[in-house]
Amino acid sequence: MSETNSTQPSHFIVQEIEADLAAGKVGHVHTRFPPEPNGYLHIGHAKAICIVFGLADQFEGQCNLRLDDTNPAKEEQEYIDSIKEDVQWLGFDWANLCHASDYFDQLYDWAVALVKAGYAYVDDQTADEIRENRGTLNTPGTNSPFRDRPAEESLDLLARMKAGEFDEGSRVLRAKVDMASPNIVMRDPAMYRILKQSHPRTGDAWCIYPMYDWAHGQSDWIEGITHSLCSLEFKNNRELYEWFIDKIAEVSGHPEGVAHKTRQIEFARGNITYMITSKRKLLQLITDGHVTGWDDPRMPTIRGMRRRGYTPAAIRRFWDEAGVAKRENNIEFAKLENVLRSDLNAFAQRRMAVADPIKVTITNYPDDQVEMFDAQNNPENEADGTRQVPFSKHLYIERDDYKPNANRKFFRLTEGREVRLRWAYWIKCNEAITDADGNVTELLCTYDPDTRGGEDPPPDEEGNVRKVKGTIHWVSQAHAIDAELRLYEHLFTKEDPEDVEEGQDWLTNINPESLKVVTAKAEPALADDQPGTPLQFERNAYFVRDTEATNTDGQPVFNRTVTLRDTWAKQQKKG
């Protein structure tokens, strides 16, 4: 029997698997991740990935990646490739790469066997008629007028469907279960539909394709999956999956196969505030032009979050800390950001960039002098070393680091007060230059040469030591590079984007200020930072150099990953 790794989190699924192993119901653990390749994976899929791959590792078992490619009308090679890449980016790998299409021949043979045994039939009703006759939660469904057609007739029609003789939507193959079942999923579900679409793997070999519910459970069975772990939305489908396996075992003459039935265990999805993860709605955001694509950094897709600067370690840790529950719950987005900050703080390289610059002239500094200061790359890790930052007479600082005639509670730059320039000198503001409209355009300051490196100056003759409370960042004007900063906020203004008034839809809650673009003055080291490298712009936020974009002026583009603290909550309170 496999033993769990004690360092891994424990929850009800762990307990269920441990019980199955202890009782001898299974001798090992074999899970699977079965996405449909009809879109990009999102943060909700990341939870499932962490669970199924994580449990396989925890019990020293295996996990398959199986692409449930049963609907070529919505599937593309782009999605297939992205799914594999995203799983590996999150830090996992699969024991076997499988596809539902691997089993198309077997599934069809089993369907023929079920028809012969009276457990399936070809229905000529339209999709609307089938839907109308399915009934409701309170009323039973109505039998199809074709439900009792002879097996020979259904077999002939099924073969002709497979041969491409009929139009799309004209016929389906349905399982004959129970139209009065309280579980609507069991009311004669469709098994095959006519779909004359080329498949990414099988080409034009098929013009009928299995429905997800027909292919899914059998694929688990074929692959020897011991534990089928899925979200609560598939709880009602479990009865159907087991019905199919029982009937296949019966018609195949191998009823003992039932003993190897995959055990399905459901867990609650992870809903995060300010996010929507419906593939249909994510696609609508793209097609309607609210975002630029699946990898837009505002999207909850793994690809979008990756481009924004999220790390796989932060996503894994977030879902570990969120836990695995049996009931749906909403997780505050701030918790995801807190985990991300903690992760980035340990290794993000520090840089200086001024997003809203105001010019500073140090009047007592030599005109042509340039000094190089050692700046620490990461105070959390001395091994990251230092970099050289140029300093000169003319600098840029953040506009909000100056306030005219500020009181003592303002610890940054104001007339007659000193601040420390990070890694450089102490400076004192003496005068503010304004334009005709009264806007400050330049600050005239002096520096203290005895504070080189930002160190405290020596005591005066009476032993008194000057103190300074404020430290601000800066950039040398002569050496600064222009950098485009993309400042991202929530894509939606409400915690629940679906919370709308009557007559409105979820698109009403799109945040018109989810992206703000500014040109910053940045230290020259930023020009050499590679795309995808996590950075902390000191006193500002965490950023990452964009992997896809350079702006029209050739400036490097940096995406804001997360602010240094939760500023969104404060903004909402003000609103």
Query: What CATH number has the domain bearing residue 437?
Result: 2.40.240.10
Q: Is residue 464 domain-shared with residue 332, that is, in the same domain?
A: no
Q: Which of 267, 299, 331 is the last residue of a domain?
A: 267
- pLDDT, residue 457, reads 85
Q: Let me know whether 250 and 366 are in one domain.
A: no
Residue 98 lies in a domain: yes
Query: Of 473, 492, 509, at which residue does a domain stop?
Result: 473
* Together in a domain, 388 and 448: yes
> 49 with 87, same domain?
yes
**Cβ neighbours of 325 (radius 10 Å):** 14
Residue 7 lies in a domain: no
Residues 206 and 113 in one domain: yes
Which of 438, 455, 473 terminates a domain? The answer is: 473
Residue spans of the chain under pLDDT 50:
1-6, 575
Taking the model in full, what pTM does it have?
Answer: 0.92
Kindly state whether residue 3 falls inside one of the protein's structural domains.
no
- Assess whether 331 and 409 both reside in one domain: no
486 and 465 in one domain?
no
How distant is the alpha carbon of residue 153 from its chain centre?
Answer: 49
Rounded to 5 degrees, φ, ψ at 129 are -65, -40
Q: In the prediction, which pLDDT does 6 show?
A: 41
Q: Specify the 3-state DSSP secondary structure of 451.
A: helix
For residue range 147-201, what is the model confidence (pLDDT) as tens digits?
999 999 999 999 999 999 999 999 999 999 999 999 999 999 999 999 999 999 9
pLDDT, one tens digit per residue, over 313-337 is 999 999 999 999 998 889 999 999 9
Token pair recorded at residue 378 = 């990461």
Tell me, yes or no, whether 1 lies in a domain. Answer: no
Q: What is the predicted pLDDT for the residue at 45?
A: 97
**Numbered residues of the known binding site for ATP:** 36-38, 42-48
220 shares its domain with 359:
no
At residue 328, the pLDDT reads 85
> What pLDDT is attached to residue 567?
61
One-letter amino acid at 313 equals: A
The SS3 assignment for 455 reads coil
pLDDT number for residue 123: 98
In a domain, 495, yes or no: yes
Any domain includes 257: yes
User: Count of CB atoms within 10 A of residue 354's CB?
Assistant: 25
Could you tell me if 100 and 247 lie in one domain? yes
* Same-domain pairing of 262 and 155: yes
Domain membership of residue 342 (yes or no) is yes
Residue 245 lies in a domain: yes
Q: Are residues 400 and 316 in the same domain?
A: no
Shared domain for 378 and 505, answered yes or no, is: no
Q: Which residues are annotated as a binding site?
A: 36-38, 42-48, 68, 212
Domain holding 346, by residue range, is 279-350+482-574
Per-residue model confidence (pLDDT) at position 4: 41
Q: Which pLDDT score, from 0 to 100, does residue 464 have?
A: 80
- How far is residue 317's CA from residue 303's CA, in Å, rounded to a whole number? 18
Predicted confidence at residue 252, as pLDDT, reads 85
Binding residues for L-glutamine: 68, 212
Structurally, the chain folds into a number of domains equal to 3
What is the C-alpha separation between 87 and 46, in angstroms, rounded?
A: 8
Q: Which residues have a catalytic role annotated?
A: 36, 269, 279
